[in-house]
């Protein structure tokens, strides 16, 4: 039998050198990572799935609203503890006994505003929360003004919105019941907490032709659309909803 030792040593040397080349990033092999190592969620894919199943799959048909929901990084505007659930079909806690609405409700309220797509519009939001709804509004309006009664949330949301480059959003802490008259009239107003009646100061700050969209009620709440025309103010109720109560002057009977 021939002596196989020289051939075995040559093969071993070749394998050793090949291993060094692979470890150094050479092209003679492909390194693989252990399963689950350094993996990051595909947030863009999650947003796309959210748009197709939760929004377009229901009754969100406005292409401007759908594009806005597709662009805004919701996962960067919720607390890190719930970030992995950012695109799930349910509300999320954001601290201070407040929540962020599920994506569908955000899109639904934005669509109800019925903003003209080709005109520069100014929108007021009452209840900034995490800043997500304001970010979505910034994609469909030229100027967004937003007020949050919880000062800690207002500060955090303003910082996050600035970091993410939503430069057309102006935020402040305060009682949104009285609106922001120095920046009115508004082409749309949205309230993301539920008063038990429609705040008259917000109706007064609507431009002619504009809408106020808000949940109204205590134990039972319904999404309500107030439209101001040159002749009258009309009210329409749409779907039952559940929001945190509006606080501040909204709790004072007859304080209009």
Q: Which of 28, 33, 101, 130 is catalytic?
A: 101
User: Mapped to the 3 state alphabet, what secondary structure does the chain carry?
Assistant: CCCCHHHHHHHHHHHHHHHHHHHCCCCCCCCCCCCCCCCCCCHHHHHHHHHHHHHCCCCCCCHHHHHHHHHCCHHHHCCHHHHHHCCCCCCEEEECCEEECCHHHHHHHHHHHCCCCCCCCEEEEECCCCCHHHHHHHHHCCEEEEEECCHHHHHHHHHHHHHCCCCCEEEEECCHHHCCHHHCCEEEEEECCECCCCCHHHHHCEEEEEEEEEEEECCCEEEEEEEECCCCEEEEEEEEECCCECCHHHHCCCCC
Please say if 101 is a catalytic residue: yes
By annotation, the residues acting in catalysis are: 101
């Amino acid at each position: 039998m021939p002596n196989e030792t020289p051939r075995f040593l040559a093969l071993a040397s070749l394998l050793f050198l090949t291993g060094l080349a692979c470890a150094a990033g050479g092209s003679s092999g492909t390194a693989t990572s252990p399963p689950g190592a350094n993996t990051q969620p595909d947030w863009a894919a999650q947003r796309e799935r959210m748009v197709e199943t939760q929004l377009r799959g229901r009754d969100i048909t406005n292409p401007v609203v759908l594009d806005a929901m597709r662009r805004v990084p919701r996962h960067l505007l919720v607390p890190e503890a719930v970030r992995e659930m950012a695109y799930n079909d349910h509300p999320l806690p954001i601290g201070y006994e407040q929540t962020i609405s599920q994506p569908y409700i955000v899109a639904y309220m934005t669509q109800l505003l019925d903003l003209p797509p080709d005109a520069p519009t100014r929108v007021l939001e009452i209840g900034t929360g995490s800043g997500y709804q304001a970010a979505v509004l910034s994609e469909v309006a030229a100027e967004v003004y937003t007020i949050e009664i919880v000062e800690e949330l207002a500060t955090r949301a303003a910082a996050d919105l600035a970091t993410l480059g939503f430069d057309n959003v102006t935020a402040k802490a305060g009682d949104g019941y009285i609106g922001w008259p120095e920046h009115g009239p508004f082409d749309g107003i949205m309230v993301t907490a539920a008063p038990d009646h429609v705040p008259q100061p917000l109706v007064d700050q609507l431009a002619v032709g504009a809408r106020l969209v808000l949940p109204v009620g205590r134990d039972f709440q319904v999404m309500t659309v107030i439209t101001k025309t040159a002749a009258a103010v009309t009210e329409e109720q749409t779907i039952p909803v559940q929001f945190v109560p509006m606080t501040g002057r909204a709790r004072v009977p007859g304080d209009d």
